[in-house]
Chain A
């Protein structure tokens, strides 16, 4: 790997690592599986990096690859009949339940609600939650900007209902 590409690759992983980890957590519940998916995404980014000439933003580039790898991962999960949505929430023994209860609980409910969305809506929602604009989401998913807006409106309604259902 050339130094310039290696440096760019590392920078991309540092800048987008947290978003990639959140995406992996959404698609792979088992920690080892999640790590595999993360490394698979990293490998795909590295392979595509030499041909990336800045036709889109780096963020769009990284998310396009990550979402594609996550979909492939999903196909393999289905093949192995792993019930993603039914898998138990991993518990980090290092977390203090008292301290993190409120925000962690809200975050967990949001994650469950996002996971319950149909895939086309879920993709748009995850990208929106990661801060992408409509035009960027359209570019990543390969649909029109108008379509993104429609999906996000539907998704917001569904999310609201799902979160209300979970309200303690």
Chain B
């Protein structure tokens, strides 16, 4: 090291590395956490597939069996909405797994891309749920005279569920926008400091 470090840096480096020994790096804990996170990632991806298949299957059953044309309209709307979510999810995940280069610049670019995609997801969630809420509300208002009390309660529960997603989407959007702003500020700072 001293071959390429001036004496002052060598002294400072020795001081720097003289940090009191902390507890040994818990490699087993880290490995278990990594394995848990991996399982979670795969489970989430699998869950998405299962939920989509179940949703599409249920819609198909309703479409095939429904005599009531209003129920068919609702099923078709759900089919379109489900497909839209599926397409968005696939497109939004492209290119966020690996960095273009194994350098800090490459990793930071990937980090920013992930934040931008998370922002896009949050925007999609709150807009999509708002639209769904409007559509479900309009359908319920239209069919209210023919719906049982139980069905009305189900639609009300769906409404509360959608509102929760809208609020969640807006909160995530705010958080990610703040992180992106800090990230961009750091980049500007870096670039500014790069000028020799």
Contact = CB atoms under 8 A, between A and B. Distances in A.
Interface in A2-25: 6, 9-10, 13-14, 17-18, 20-22, 25
Contacts of A82: none
A38 B189 contact: no
B13 A64 contact: no
Contact count band on A: 35 or more
A103 B15 contact: yes
Contacts of B148: none
Contact of A141 (B18, B19, B38, B104): B104
A107 B196 contact: no
A52 B107 CA distance: 12
Interface stretch (B62-70, B79-87, B163-171, B179-187): B179-187
B15 A42 contact: no
A110 B104 contact: no
A20 B22 CA distance: 12
A100 B15 contact: no
B179 A76 contact: yes
Contact count band on B: 35 or more
A125 B13 CA distance: 10
Interface string B15-59: 111111010010101110111011000000000000000000000
A156 B9 contact: yes
A2 to B, nearest CB: 12
Contacts of A38: 25, 30
Interface stretch (B94-102, B119-127, B133-141, B150-158): B94-102
Contacts of B35: 1
B107 A22 contact: no
A92 interface: yes
Interface string A97-110: 00010011011001
Contacts of A129: 9, 12-13, 16-17
B16 A107 contact: yes
Interface string A123-140: 000001111011000011
Contacts of A100: 20
Nearest to A120: B193
B91 interface: no
A168 interface: no
A27 to B, nearest CB: 13
Contacts of B19: 18, 21-22, 25, 107
A67 B107 CA distance: 9
Contact of B16 (A1, A74, A110, A152): A110
A67 B31 CA distance: 20
A159 B15 CA distance: 13
Given A6-B31, A118-B193, A121-B193, 9 more contacts: A13-B25, A14-B27, A64-B106, A67-B104, A107-B19, A129-B9, A129-B13, A131-B13, A139-B103
Interface of A: 1, 6, 9-10, 13-14, 17-18, 20-22, 25, 38-39, 42-44, 46-48, 51-52, 55-56, 60-61, 63-65, 67-68, 71-72, 74-76, 78-79, 92, 95, 100, 103-104, 106-107, 110-111, 114, 118-121, 128-131, 133-134, 139-143, 146-147, 150-152, 156, 159-160
